Amino acid sequence: MADGKVRVALAGLGFGAEFIPLYQKHPNAECYAICQRNRELLDKVGDQFGVERRFTDFGDLLKVPEIDAIHVVTPIAEHARMSLKSLKAGKHTACTVPMATTVRECLELAAARKKSGKVYMMMETAVYTREFLYVKEMQAQGKIGKIQFLRGSHQQNMSLPGWPAYWYGFPPMFYATHAVSPLLALAGKPAEAAVCFGSGTIRRDYAKLYNSPFAIETSHLKIKNSDLVCEVTRSLFDTIRQYRESFDVYGTDSSFEWEQTAGENPVLFSGLQDAVRVKVPDYGHLLPEGIKKYTLHGVYDEEHEHTSFIQGGGHGGSHPHMVHEFISAITENRKSFADADISANWTMAGICSHESAMKGGKRIDIPQVSI
């Protein structure tokens, strides 16, 4: 680190470009370099945000000794490969979800994190949204009581043309961390087994790409050393539903249910019959002054003439919270909240759920990682 600042390189500048101003304005970070295979996009983004060090080859990026950390924001198939290379090169590593698409890759990443001694963080938005921070605060204050059941869903219809080709036919549970992570984070324990069933079918030309026929996959996850079971539902194709990433929490003292349709606001249940819709507050006050405004919807960055985070402040205001946690874990020499062991469990819960669905609902034990 130079002058107490973590020098971060961003690899992948589609969605990844939205993180540049966060690293530029975080008091303990610097956006030192950017990497993108497409030279035209690389220069466009570099010029827009004033980033001088630009790379088209990830291998060249890894060789720069001044870089402390790499944030990988690339297509899913590259996540595990690039994260492993980053850790082996001695770089703190953040990666967008999911961590990987195989159990083997998850275990390799956990082992590489341990061997490197560096910070790893899966940049899981769902555990930094306003809604999650609100429920987590309620839990810490003892307002939920004993959690009795948790439910998560991530439903999205990607059937129309326009998405990158690798998405079509993608097994729903291979990208389940948005639905899984809030549940396991609130439970505070890993998932130990999955029982999952597939329902419906997607069009044949999609299904053959990954040999995955199901329109919806629904899993029950058994929580280790607990009486809790979580339910997770995931869909990607040929199922009509307004986009939703959601979680529900049912406790002995109160319960929280995500809104059914966008704009309704969640429902908080208390007593025997009491129910009230709540407007979840923003949690920008938890962040350093330079980046707290980026939890808000459609922030206009005057310096770079760029409107950032059009998805409600970056997936429920989560982006600046993730960046702050990653940088803080590095400067404080500790594990991140979504360290490799936790991220592996969140990711493998989905991978093992898909395996269970393909085997007609057979119980699949989830490998346990402790580092």
CATH at 304: 3.40.50.720
pLDDT for 216 equals: 98
Residue 303 and residue 359 in one domain: no
Residue 306 has pLDDT above 80, yes or no: no
pLDDT for 297 equals: 60
Rounded Cα distance, 356 and 48, in Å: 46
Rounded Cα distance, 71 and 121, in Å: 9
Say if 317 falls within a structural domain.
yes
241: domain CATH number?
Answer: 3.30.360.10
Domain count along the chain: 2
Closest alpha carbon to 323 in 106, 4, 82, 16: 16
Domain that holds residue 208: 127-282+346-365
Q: How does residue 314 score in pLDDT terms, banded at 50, 70 and 90?
A: low
Residue 316 contacts residue 297 (beta carbons within 8 Å):
no
Residue 73 has pLDDT above 60, yes or no: yes
Residue 358 has pLDDT above 80, yes or no: yes
Residue 170 and residue 273 in one domain: yes
Query: What is the 3 state secondary structure string of 229-294?
Result: EEEEEEECCCCCCCCEEEEEEEECCEEEECCCCCCCCCEEEECCCEEEECCCCCCHHHCCCCCHHH
pLDDT for 301 equals: 52
Burial 211-234 (b: 16+ CB within 10 A, else e): ebbbbbbbbbbbbbeeebbbbbbb
Cα separation values, 134 from 119, 204, 256, 339, Å: 26, 42, 10, 22
Q: Which residue has the higher pLDDT, 272 or 50?
A: 50
For 329-351, how does the pLDDT look when each residue is reduced to its tens digit (9 = 90+)?
Answer: 999 999 999 999 999 999 999 99
Residue 150 and residue 256 in one domain: yes
For 138-178, how does the pLDDT look when each residue is reduced to its tens digit (9 = 90+)?
Answer: 999 999 999 999 999 999 999 989 999 999 999 999 999 99
Residue 265 and residue 180 in one domain: yes
pLDDT for 307 equals: 44
Say if 97 falls within a structural domain.
yes
Residue 364 has pLDDT above 70, yes or no: yes
Q: Which residue has the higher pLDDT, 298 or 52?
A: 52
Q: Whole-number mean pLDDT of the chain?
A: 94
Residue 318 and residue 360 in one domain: no
Residue 351 and residue 308 in one domain: no
Residue 157 and residue 112 in one domain: no
Residue 305 has pLDDT above 70, yes or no: no
For 1-53, how does the pLDDT look when each residue is reduced to its tens digit (9 = 90+)?
Answer: 778 899 999 999 999 999 999 999 999 999 999 999 999 999 999 999 999 99
Residue 272 has pLDDT above 80, yes or no: yes
Residue 132 and residue 113 in one domain: no
Residue 267 and residue 257 in one domain: yes
Query: Which pairing describes strands 92-96 and 120-123: parallel, antiparallel, or unpaired?
Result: parallel
Residue 216 and residue 354 in one domain: yes
Residue 308 has pLDDT above 50, yes or no: no
- Three-class DSSP category at 368: coil
Residue 309 has pLDDT above 90, yes or no: no
Residue 331 and residue 350 in one domain: no
For 242-263, how does the pLDDT look when each residue is reduced to its tens digit (9 = 90+)?
Answer: 999 999 999 999 999 999 999 9
Q: Which residue has the higher pLDDT, 86 or 15?
A: 86
Q: How does residue 204 score in pLDDT terms, banded at 50, 70 and 90?
A: very high
Residue 59 and residue 156 in one domain: no
pLDDT for 311 equals: 35
